[in-house]
Amino acid sequence: MLPDPDNVQSLIIARYRHRYRVVLLFQISDPVAAQGFLRKWVPDVNGGLQPPSSYQAGLDGAAGTPDPVYHFAFSWRGISKLLKARRSETQGLNPDAVANHLESFFTKEENAPHSRSVAASLDMKDVNAPENWWAEDTDPAGFHIALFCYFGDEAQKKQGLENIRREATESGLREWQFPSFEDKALSGKVPPGGILHFGFRDGVSKVEIDWEDADKPGKVNFRELLLGYPSDQYPLSPAEPGPWREFVRDGTYVNLAWLYQDVATFNRFLRENRGAAEPHSGAEDPEEWLAAKMMGRWRNGSALALHPEGKPASNDTSNKFGYQNDANGETTPLFSHIRVCNPRDQGLTSVNEARFPNGPPRLVRRGFSYGPPLQGEEDDGRDRGLVGVFACSRINEQFYTVVRWIQKTSFSDQFDSIKNGRKRQDMMFGFRKKHNAETTTHIPVTPEGSVPLKLPLADFIRYRGLAVFLAPSLKSLRYLAGD
Amino acid sequence: MTHPLTLTLKIKQDPETLAALEALKENFAEQIQPKIDEALRASKLVHFARVAVIGDNDYIQVITEYDGDHFEYTEFFRRALTPIFAKIFSLADGVPDVQDPTAFFEFSKNANYRTLGLSADGANDMNGNQAGWLFSAYDHAEVRDILGALQAEAAE
């Protein structure tokens, strides 16, 4: 059985042209009224690979301002309320008896991202602790509905948010607001040239889905993303056929991450270590070289693996590369961000090879930059960073695993060849006070045999919030809306 | 960081279960032990492991000391030892389908008993609370650290 892309919300399988993006989070008080709200918006939700105003749709709609686009995802509590409102238990969907049909990292409050158990597992401590997430008085257990909005311009965003908020209020939905954002919601826009706060071009890494289940080289099994099609290699819940499997089929888990970026500290790090980088940076600016080594890509998005000597004059967005000829990370360091988050063909430990027989876990990433840009090394006290949306079919096995790998690089035997290699972290992103962590860079330099660059790392990125939702198929979305 | 696993299951006392228990005991050394040995050796995560039946065939315990996060490797052990876990779990009430990763995860988590005392190395238990005590003579060095040191010593 193959998935039907037209039944999948386009949010995760296409890319929109809209510059303005907002995520609204609502709490349901009256589920029947909430269904009324959903019925107004759900008919316009896009499914399929080429929705209007997407890059995949080609030039149609590329001129002019694109129409707004909306997508929905729900927490387990939100789904439970909506299912009960439509008496779904008569169709075999009793939320109070969901048992093990869905992953407990989705259904159980004790395994929610803000729970003590998961926070400990992911090393969400100190500056990253759930107590410091979201905003004062926010109760993430009340995030029932996540509404992902795409707008073409400021005026459209203003009007769109006004409309949604008015109808939400009339439907008894409470909106969780975040005062550090001008829109009082997680919101941002695609920056000019797609350049994010640390100066890197966004949107280069792409996941191409193998919709035909043909094991095509370079493509990713659709089961990395979509629920409802378990196999031996992807033992997805629900394991048993039945109404729960039908309900989640063509849906995906959406992990929402609010990530603060400390631009001043990152810029200071680059400047302070300019001298250390200079003997190795060749014709490149030493700070650019150091930033590229930490990311695994030049700031224009071109992969170090394809352009080891320097960034090409025009950016190269090719993703056709691996690390088999770079086992020790001389070109793309083992602890660079893109190599930790997706080690590609780098061998994993035998345990991880068994867990991931089709290769390292993959995430489909969407999201946007927020906050004003900052130049220099003086922090202005303004909030800025990324709102990341990471879609996958297994929360613990995929998303949380990658979060753990960022915090502790023990997933590959290759790390055994380096001192404290299994106690290191992603050079861009890690909680540096983690117990026993080795928090310095490890950047091999030439000539071979030279001592790798060892520079003290800081917390350049911090968690400000993490929440898990299910973006249902269009069919199940309509069901939740009461249709 | 090393964690203790003290998986403890109350054995059903019906004749079929007790017969299955006797068969497990009888076949353990020749059929089960080598499979567990192979999987744990390959994992390079588990320091020690043993299986014990205590009381008058009242409980069966799987006791290990392992490295890494509580939630990270459950799925590996399920995949690697599916038939073994099926045999052991079938002795208890509320048996999960070991082919079902969520059911297996929940059953294993709930059957693990916290040790007494308080961890001295910052370890948390599966609920995120300070873990119980686990003595380590080598400061919670990981299996891979120890194997690496032994290999280095052997090479000298």
Nearest CA distance, B75 vs chain A (angstrom): 7
How far is it, in rounded angstroms, from Cα A88 to Cα B84? Answer: 38
Helix, strand, or coil here: B130? Answer: strand
Question: Does residue B100 belong to the interface with chain A, where contact is any CB pair within 8 Å?
Answer: yes
pLDDT value for A394: 97
How far is it, in rounded angstroms, from Cα A347 to Cα A163? Answer: 51
User: Is there a single domain that holds both residue A451 and residue A474?
Assistant: no
The answer to whether the CB of A255 falls within 8 A of the CB of A391 is: yes
B133: containing domain = 2-155
Question: Does residue B130 belong to the interface with chain A, where contact is any CB pair within 8 Å?
Answer: no
- Cα B124–Cα B128–Cα B134 angle in degrees, nearest 5: 20
User: Is there a single domain that holds both residue A313 and residue A323?
Assistant: yes
Q: Which residues in chain A have Cβ-Cβ distances shorter than 8 Å to B126?
A: 117
- Residue in the structure block whose two tokens are 């073409």: A152
How far is it, in rounded angstroms, from Cα B45 to Cα B144? Answer: 7
Cβ–Cβ of B102/A351 closer than 8 Å? no
Cβ–Cβ of A121/B69 closer than 8 Å? yes
Cβ–Cβ of A116/B127 closer than 8 Å? yes
CA torsion angle B49 B52 B54 B56 (round to 10)? 170
Residue A389: phi and psi, rounded to 5, are -125, 115
For A236, nearest residue in chain B (alpha carbons): B101
- Cα B106–Cα B109–Cα B113 angle in degrees, nearest 5: 150
* Residue A390 falls inside a structural domain: no
Q: Which residues in chain B have Cβ-Cβ distances shorter than 8 Å to A350?
A: 42-44
Question: Is residue A59 over pLDDT 80?
Answer: no
Total number of domains in chain A: 2
A-interface mutation test, from B3, B46, B66, B102, most A Cβ less than 10 A away: B102
Question: Does residue B134 belong to the interface with chain A, where contact is any CB pair within 8 Å?
Answer: no
The per-residue pLDDT of chain B, averaged, comes to 94
**Neighbour-count burial for B34-49, b at 16+ CB within 10 Å, e otherwise:** eebeebbeebbbbbeb
Q: At a CB cut-off of 8 Å and minimum separation 6, what does A32 contact?
A: A85, A482
Percent of chain B scored above 70 by pLDDT? Answer: 100
A-interface mutation test, from B1, B38, B69, most A Cβ less than 10 A away: B69
Query: Span B69-89, mean pLDDT?
Result: 92
Q: Which residues in chain B have Cβ-Cβ distances shorter than 8 Å to A242?
A: none
* Cis check: omega of the bond before A238, within 30 degrees of 0: yes
Nearest CA distance, A129 vs chain B (angstrom): 12
Question: Does residue B55 belong to the interface with chain A, where contact is any CB pair within 8 Å?
Answer: no
* Residue A381 falls inside a structural domain: no
pLDDT value for B152: 87
Interfacial residues of A (vs B; Cβ cutoff 8 Å)? 99-104, 110, 115-121, 235, 237, 239-240, 349-352, 354-355, 396-397, 400-401, 404, 410, 416, 422, 435-436
- Cα B34–Cα B38–Cα B42 angle in degrees, nearest 5: 170
User: Is there a single domain that holds both residue A57 and residue A206?
Assistant: yes
Helix (H) / strand (E) containing A385: strand A385-392
Query: Span A71-78, mean pLDDT?
Result: 98
User: Is there a single domain that holds both residue A33 and residue A79?
Assistant: yes
Please state, as a whole number, how many other Cβ atoms lie within 10 Å of the Cβ of residue B53: 16
- As separate numbers, helices (DSSP H) first and strands (DSSP E) second, chain A gives 13, 11
Question: Is residue A217 over pLDDT 90?
Answer: no
Q: Which residues in chain A have Cβ-Cβ distances shorter than 8 Å to B70?
A: 117, 121
Residue B79 has its nearest CB partner, among A99, A101, A354, at A354
Find the DSSP H helices in A211-334.
243-248, 263-272, 274-277, 286-295
Q: Which residues in chain B have Cβ-Cβ distances shorter than 8 Å to A354?
A: 76, 79-80
* Residue A384 falls inside a structural domain: no
Of A171, A186, A206, which Cα lies nearest the Cα of A133?
Answer: A186
* Residue A290 falls inside a structural domain: yes
How far is it, in rounded angstroms, from Cα A143 to Cα A140? Answer: 5
User: Is there a single domain that holds both residue A184 and residue A330?
Assistant: no
User: Is there a single domain that holds both residue A221 and residue A176?
Assistant: yes
Q: Which residues in chain B have Cβ-Cβ distances shorter than 8 Å to A116?
A: 124, 127-129
Question: Is residue A165 over pLDDT 70?
Answer: yes
The answer to whether the CB of A27 falls within 8 A of the CB of A176 is: yes
A169-174 LR contacts (CB < 8 Å, sep 24+): A170/A33, A170/A37, A171/A30, A171/A33, A171/A34, A171/A36, A171/A37, A172/A28, A172/A29, A172/A30, A172/A33, A172/A34, A173/A26, A173/A27, A173/A28, A173/A29, A173/A33, A173/A34, A173/A37, A173/A145, A174/A26, A174/A27, A174/A29, A174/A142
Question: Does residue B41 belong to the interface with chain A, where contact is any CB pair within 8 Å?
Answer: no
A184: containing domain = 5-259+466-480
Question: Is residue A182 over pLDDT 70?
Answer: yes
Query: Span B14-18, mean pLDDT?
Result: 98
Instruction: Convert the pLDDT of each residue in A249-307 to its tens digit.
Output: 999 999 999 999 999 999 999 999 999 999 999 999 999 999 999 999 999 999 999 99
Confidence of residue A61 (pLDDT cuts 50, 70, 90): low
Question: Does residue B38 belong to the interface with chain A, where contact is any CB pair within 8 Å?
Answer: no
Tokens of B112: 């693990």
User: Is there a single domain that holds both residue A89 and residue A166?
Assistant: yes
User: Is there a single domain that holds both residue A255 and residue A139?
Assistant: yes
Residue A5: phi and psi, rounded to 5, are -55, -30
Helix (H) / strand (E) containing B77: helix B74-80
Cβ–Cβ of A351/B128 closer than 8 Å? no
Confidence of residue B153 (pLDDT cuts 50, 70, 90): confident
Instruction: Convert the pLDDT of each residue in B104-152 to its tens digit.
Output: 999 999 999 999 999 988 889 888 999 999 999 999 999 999 999 998 8
Q: Which residues in chain B have Cβ-Cβ distances shorter than 8 Å to A420?
A: none
User: Is there a single domain that holds both residue A220 and residue A335?
Assistant: no
The answer to whether the CB of A149 falls within 8 A of the CB of A183 is: no
Percent of chain A scored above 70 by pLDDT? Answer: 99
* Cis check: omega of the bond before A66, within 30 degrees of 0: no
Question: Does residue B3 belong to the interface with chain A, where contact is any CB pair within 8 Å?
Answer: no
Percent of chain A scored above 90 by pLDDT? Answer: 93
pLDDT value for A205: 84
Nearest CA distance, B153 vs chain A (angstrom): 16
Helix, strand, or coil here: A175? Answer: strand
Nearest CA distance, A48 vs chain B (angstrom): 30
Total number of domains in chain B: 1
Residue B128 has its nearest CB partner, among A115, A235, A240, at A115
Q: How many A/B residue pairs have CB atoms within 8 Å?
A: 88
Cβ–Cβ of B75/A400 closer than 8 Å? no
Instruction: Convert the pLDDT of each residue in A97-144 to its tens digit.
Output: 999 999 999 999 999 999 999 999 999 999 999 999 999 999 999 999
Residue B42 has its nearest CB partner, among A104, A350, A410, at A350
B-interface mutation test, from A100, A401, A407, A423, most B Cβ less than 10 A away: A100
The per-residue pLDDT of chain A, averaged, comes to 96
The answer to whether the CB of B46 falls within 8 A of the CB of B122 is: no
* Residue A388 falls inside a structural domain: no
Nearest CA distance, A457 vs chain B (angstrom): 22
The answer to whether the CB of B47 falls within 8 A of the CB of B2 is: yes
pLDDT value for A70: 98
User: Is there a single domain that holds both residue A338 and residue A451?
Assistant: yes
**DSSP-assigned letters across all residues of A26-66:** EEES-HHHHHHHHHHHGGG--BSSS-TTBGGGTTTTTSSPP
User: Is there a single domain that holds both residue A88 and residue A231?
Assistant: yes
Tokens of A309: 């000597």
Q: Which residues in chain A have Cβ-Cβ distances shorter than 8 Å to B148?
A: 416
User: Is there a single domain that holds both residue A319 and residue A410?
Assistant: yes
Of A79, A76, A143, A130, which Cα lies nearest the Cα of A104?
Answer: A76
Question: Does residue B147 belong to the interface with chain A, where contact is any CB pair within 8 Å?
Answer: no
The model scores a pTM over 0.90: yes
